[in-house]
Amino acid sequence: MMIVMRANATEEQIANVVEIVQANGLRAHLSQGEERTVIGVVGDGRPVPRDQFAFLPGIDRVVPISRPYKLASREFKPDNSIFKINGMRIGGDEIIIIAGPCSVESRSQLLETAYAVREAGAHALRGGAFKPRTSPYSFQGMGEAGLEILAEARQETGLPVVTEVMAPDQVPLVTRYADVLQIGARNMQNYSLLHVVGECQHPVLIKRGMSATIEELLMAGEYVLSHGNRRVILCERGIRTFETATRNTTDINSVPVLKSQTHLPVILDPSHSTGNWEYVTAIARAAIAAGADGLMIEVHPNPATALSDGGQSLKPERFAEMVAQVKAVAQAVGRSVAAAHQTVPPTAR
């Protein structure tokens, strides 16, 4: 942390800051420039609280130096975190694709989609049973009945299941059915929830909040890691900006930034980051070209009748075409899409 004094700070004010720094068990290094003094605050490696100092007289600004996360950083763990999820391997050279409908709407809708996405090359199945909806009057998801359908689809297709958990007290229920617990964008800073999923053994997929910085996404990952769960996947899904031509703005920069800052796998969800099926394939290709480790795609057998997010869902045949294009781009950047999921007869699992 660097404390920048005002140009007109008095010697007493500078001495006072130094004294308080030292009273906190930290060391102070003075740099006296022509215009102003800067005090470097050096600690023992733990993050130093900025707020205490901001208030002291004579201070202009407090500038953080250390990153506020540790377990999530590449400096802490230089190699990529690679882990297996029910047969799917994520974080290595092979790219994985998670696909499925926004919401579980019925047994037939989900099974039809699950077979279709497996056929097209998906490695895991997504689908929401609990849906965070802006309106209290919108479809809120099927709840546990939806989880049962997801488990049946896994049984039938062998695809591991990714589904959202919205509240700490839902975690025991959802872990009974799901392979990966998804933390939705609106809950990225729901610390009660992050705490609980950090204590369970299931892999966690954290979606970036729509106004969360990359650093805050890493801090959300750090929450989960710090409670003992090491299997965390980070997902860019678009941020909120002034641009209204698309629902969100895909922060494609976040892909190389995250890959340089963290060892955790990084995937991108172009369905939400564009909000428009017409742009999903182009942005899926871009994500892989930028270095993402995977994709999360909304697919619906009949988007026009979807109970949520139909406008951003691909039909199965377009999804298959997208997978083909993504494979070509993956090869161009020296990677490959993981082999299609092997059809395993339910009895053999």
Tell me, what amino acid is at 153? A
Q: Which stretch binds its own copies (CB under 8 A): 110-118, 154-162, 330-338, 341-349?
A: 330-338
The residues in 96-135 that bind its own copies, with binding defined as CB under 8 A, are: 132-135
Q: Which residue from 10, 22, 155, 331 is in contact with its own copies, where contact means CB under 8 A?
A: 331
Of 255, 287, 267, which is closest to residue 207 (Cα–Cα)?
A: 267
For residues 52 and 313, what is the distance between their CA atoms, to the nearest angstrom? 48
Asked whether position 242 contacts its own copies by CB under 8 A, the answer is yes
Kindly state the smallest distance separating residue 113's Cβ from its own copies, in Å.
15
Q: How far is the C-alpha of 187 from the C-alpha of 220, rounded, in Å?
A: 10
Residue 34 as a binder of its own copies (CB under 8 A): the answer is yes
User: Is 190 in contact with 204 (CB distance < 8 Å)?
Assistant: no
Establish how many alpha carbons lie within 13 A of residue 209's alpha carbon, considering only the half-sphere containing its beta carbon.
17
d(CA 122, CA 159): 8
Cβ pair 177, 151 in contact under 8 A: yes
- Binding its own copies by CB under 8 A: which of 35, 201, 345, 347? 35
- Note whether 257 binds its own copies by CB under 8 A: yes
What residues numbered 48-67 form the site for its own copies, per CB under 8 A? 49-56, 62-63, 65-66
Which CB sits closer to its own copies, 38 or 151?
38
Angle, helices 277-290 vs 254-261, to 10°: value is 40
Number of residues that bind its own copies (CB under 8 A): 117
Query: Which of 21, 116, 283, 295 contacts its own copies by CB under 8 A?
Result: 283
Q: Which token pair is 229?
A: 């769960």
DSSP state of 117: H
> Which string of x and - marks every residue 295-314 that binds its own copies (by CB under 8 A)?
--------xxxxxxxxx-x-
Encoded one letter per residue, x for contact with its own copies by CB under 8 A and - for no contact, window 142-181 reads ------------------------xxxxx-----------
* Least Å from the CB of residue 137 to its own copies: 6
Interface with its own copies, residue 19, by CB under 8 A: no
**Residue 197 interacting with its own copies (CB under 8 A):** no
- Tell me which residue of 212, 210, 226, 238 sits closest to 296, measured CA to CA: 238
Count of CB atoms situated within 10 Å of the CB of 71 = 18
The only residue of 85, 153, 159, 193 in contact with its own copies, by rule CB under 8 A = 193
CB atoms within 10 A of CB 145: 13
CB-wise, 11 or 243, nearer to its own copies?
243
Are residues 216 and 248 in contact, defined by beta-carbon separation less than 8 angstroms? no
9 binds its own copies (CB under 8 A): no
Out of 81, 157, 271, 274, the residue judged to bind its own copies by CB under 8 A: 274
Query: In whole angstroms, how close is the CB of 323 to its own copies at the nearest point?
Result: 13
Q: Which residue has the tokens 């617990």?
A: 181
- Among the listed residues 164, 167, 193, the one whose alpha carbon sits nearest the alpha carbon of residue 181: 164
Which of residues 11, 79, 260, 339 is near its own copies by CB under 8 A? 260
